[in-house]
Copies of this chain bind each other. A is one copy, B any other.
Amino acid sequence: MPGGHTQTLRPFLWRASKLYPDTEIVSRDHDGISRTTYSEYAGRTAQLANALDDHGIEHEDRVATFCWNTERHYETYFGVPSMGAQLHTINPLLPDEHVRYIVDNADDELIFVDPSLAEKLAGAAEGAEEFDGVDFVVMGDEGVEALDAPDYESFLDGHDTEYDWPDLPSDQPAGMCYTSGTTGKPKGVEYTQSMLWSHTMTTLTPQGIPMEDDDVVMPVVPMFHVNAWGMPFTATAAGSKHVYPGPSPDPEDIAMLIEEEGVTVTAGVPTVWLGLMEYCEDNEVDLSSLDRIIVGGSAAPKSMIRWFDNRGVEVLHAWGMTEMSPIGSVSQLKSDLEDAGYETQLDKRGKQGIMVPGIEYKIIDENDEEIAWDGEEFGELHVRGPTITKEYFERPEANEEDFEDGWLKTGDVVSVDPDGYIQIVDRAKDVIKSGGEWISSVELENAIMAHDDVSEATVVGVPHEKWQERPVAFVVPAERADRDTLEEGIMELLRDEYPKWWLPDAIEYIEEVPKTATGKFSKKDLREQYSGDRLLAGNTPDEAAPGQDD
């Protein structure tokens, strides 16, 4: 059968160690900054593989990490998958019962744990049969008694710095990460060697997040979070210098690392950069080395993009999912927008962007039709490509829900403009289905929160006998608000901007919006409470369906 050699991570490690033996890997850890080089890194990675062999780890066994962003964690990124095992990065912020479920579901053989997380992991493991047979190694130079765990340096010590990296098939499982769903059990996503190879390539293109050998790459996004968006792999393929910010870096640490290590590209959620902005306002920070910041997880406010633009730093939105290895789209500016005004550019850059080459996407409306690329209509984003998983690990019922004819149904509701930029409008489970059309809960929320006398607001769809669902707004009034006139004030605001059938059937005052463990609005609680307590009555307008008033 014709074909090329398999696609694996091996050539990236090989390339960096042969072509850039002296390029540095810098790591902030509990005891300060450490430095190594690709050449030493390759040796330690080989030691790790030999140590895993000795420990009895075999091909397709799962080896987990419970760690921050450090150089040692990066050693597992190549050492584990390239010796034939599967690297399972566990989110140490998960509640204990999730950790137990995940370790059991993945059947992990061994867990590398950061010293600062050993106590938490020991707590989760104590007396839990899910942990039966699991061994531990502590990512430091001291073991931990509670886990009966040797330290990583002893684990490596004495092992050969050469390893005969095997020739693995493309479909060999190489990585694994669980989605932290707000409902139900976490779902495991496996990354094959080929998916990680492909992701490295699609993101390395100029249309993705290109890196070169003079880049200094600092992933602030956690390495337990979908391979830190693949950056440790991409930076290695490019021969870039790495900087790992270690456990709980605060803005001062981040500023220091940018300044002292000459970071050119970094990545993380908006909160991190808001913290850095604030720190920079109060302290003298030299950001001159910094070229671009990759922002994902949630949208960067335009004010943030402006702030960094003024300092010569490009903020690039990226959007992706655990199921996508993870990067799908990047908000690179198309060349025909180069002459557009700054505000137009900002509008585009504020969106989630365009899929990298090799990924196809379509947006499907309530009636299973593709929507127009007009920036107005919206529907659920479906994606397919070699970096996107075809299934969840041992979850056939979830597969049926989330995959269709080779496409992943992302659960994100988006619009797409004529230039191809997608913008997330809502989550599919939160979008309100009224009379066969969709209403964006997020748009209504933002509009309501723009009212001066509103402190917080969320909009949920509640069941309705005629229209299927209708929007109800839950509003936390500001302290100064006049609760008697506020409702009408909000409705007035909304009437100006939206068709009648978008207007909420009711506005309810609450003292606080319920939140999930990760701080997101928990609409589920409100929806259940509202539909359980009361049924919607005559408040609904007759024209609570589209096409009747616009």
Q: Is the CB of B213 within 8 A of A2?
A: no
Closest Cβ–Cβ distance, residue A363 to chain B (whole Å): 12
Q: Is A275 an interface residue (CB 8 A)?
A: no
Q: Is the CB of A4 within 8 A of B167?
A: no
A200 to chain B: closest residue by CB: B357
Of A18, A194, A204, A406, most B-chain CB atoms within 10 Å: A204
Q: Is the CB of A357 within 8 A of B210?
A: no
Pick from A294-302, A383-391, A437-445 the stretch touching chain B: A383-391
Q: Is A514 an interface residue (CB 8 A)?
A: no
Q: Is A1 an interface residue (CB 8 A)?
A: yes
Contact of A7 among B2, B204, B334, B386 (CB under 8 A): B386
Pick from A8-16, A312-320, A467-475 the stretch touching chain B: A8-16
- Bound: A191/B338 CA distance, A: 37
Q: Is A237 an interface residue (CB 8 A)?
A: yes
- A residues 207-221 with Cβ under 8 Å of B? 207, 210-214
Q: Is A419 an interface residue (CB 8 A)?
A: yes
- Bound: A14/B10 CA distance, A: 31
- A residues 1-49 with Cβ under 8 Å of B? 1-7, 10-12, 14-15, 18-19
Contact of A360 among B10, B197, B198, B210 (CB under 8 A): B10
- Bound: A419/B238 CA distance, A: 14
User: Could you mark each residue 167-198 of chain A with 1 if its beta carbon is under 8 Å from any beta carbon of chain B, else 0?
Assistant: 10011010000000000000000111011011
Closest Cβ–Cβ distance, residue A497 to chain B (whole Å): 30
User: Could you mark each residue 332-366 of chain A with 1 if its beta carbon is under 8 Å from any beta carbon of chain B, else 0?
Assistant: 00111010000000000000001101111000000
Closest Cβ–Cβ distance, residue A165 to chain B (whole Å): 10
Knowing A206-B204, A210-B205, A335-B213, the reply to whether A194 touches B358 (Cβ < 8 A) is no
- Bound: A212/B358 CA distance, A: 15
Q: Is the CB of B210 within 8 A of A206?
A: yes
- A residues 286-331 with Cβ under 8 Å of B? 325
Q: Is A201 an interface residue (CB 8 A)?
A: yes
Contact of A1 among B4, B171, B213 (CB under 8 A): B171
Q: Is A420 an interface residue (CB 8 A)?
A: yes
Q: Is the CB of A198 within 8 A of B357?
A: no
Q: Is the CB of A4 within 8 A of B387?
A: yes
Q: Is the CB of A386 within 8 A of B5?
A: yes
Q: Is A393 an interface residue (CB 8 A)?
A: yes
Q: Is A202 an interface residue (CB 8 A)?
A: yes
Q: Is the CB of B4 within 8 A of A206?
A: no
**Oligomeric state, in number of copies?**
2
Q: Is the CB of B198 within 8 A of A11?
A: no
Q: Is the CB of A357 within 8 A of B11?
A: yes
- Bound: A139/B408 CA distance, A: 40
Size of the A side of the interface (Cβ < 8 Å), in residues, is 63
A200 to chain B: which residues have CB within 8 Å?
A: 357-358
- Bound: A373/B19 CA distance, A: 10
A355 to chain B: which residues have CB within 8 Å?
A: 15
A5 to chain B: which residues have CB within 8 Å?
A: 384-386, 388, 390, 406
Q: Is the CB of A335 within 8 A of B386?
A: no
Knowing A10-B360, A237-B357, A358-B11, the reply to whether A2 touches B211 (Cβ < 8 A) is no
A198 to chain B: which residues have CB within 8 Å?
A: 4, 7, 201
Contact of A194 among B3, B15, B334, B359 (CB under 8 A): B3
Q: Is the CB of B386 within 8 A of A4?
A: yes
Of A3, A4, A207, A238, most B-chain CB atoms within 10 Å: A4
- Bound: A195/B5 CA distance, A: 9
Knowing A167-B406, A198-B7, the reply to whether A2 touches B192 (Cβ < 8 A) is yes
Q: Is the CB of B206 within 8 A of A357?
A: no
Q: Is the CB of A357 within 8 A of B15?
A: yes
Knowing A7-B358, A19-B420, the reply to whether A2 touches B389 (Cβ < 8 A) is yes
A393 to chain B: which residues have CB within 8 Å?
A: 2
A14 to chain B: which residues have CB within 8 Å?
A: 360
Q: Is the CB of A171 within 8 A of B3?
A: yes
Q: Is the CB of B357 within 8 A of A3?
A: no
- Bound: A501/B385 CA distance, A: 57
- Bound: A406/B165 CA distance, A: 14
User: Could you mark each residue 405-416 of chain A with 1 if its beta carbon is under 8 Å from any beta carbon of chain B, else 0?
Assistant: 010000000000
- A residues 422-470 with Cβ under 8 Å of B? none
Q: Is the CB of A18 within 8 A of B334?
A: no
Contact of A204 among B211, B335, B357 (CB under 8 A): B357
Knowing A201-B205, A206-B206, A210-B205, the reply to whether A390 touches B3 (Cβ < 8 A) is yes
Q: Is the CB of B406 within 8 A of A4?
A: no
Contact of A357 among B195, B238, B354, B358 (CB under 8 A): B238
Q: List 5 interface pairs A-B (beta carbons < 8 Å), by A numbering.
A: A4-B388, A5-B384, A18-B420, A204-B357, A206-B206
- List 9 A-B pairs, minimum CB-CB distance, nearest first: A214-B335, A201-B201, A2-B190, A237-B357, A4-B386, A19-B420, A204-B205, A4-B195, A5-B384
Apart from A2-B171, A12-B357, A206-B211, 19 more pairs, CB < 8 Å: A2-B173, A2-B190, A3-B170, A3-B194, A4-B192, A4-B194, A4-B390, A5-B386, A5-B390, A18-B373, A19-B354, A200-B357, A201-B201, A205-B205, A207-B212, A207-B238, A214-B335, A214-B338, A238-B357
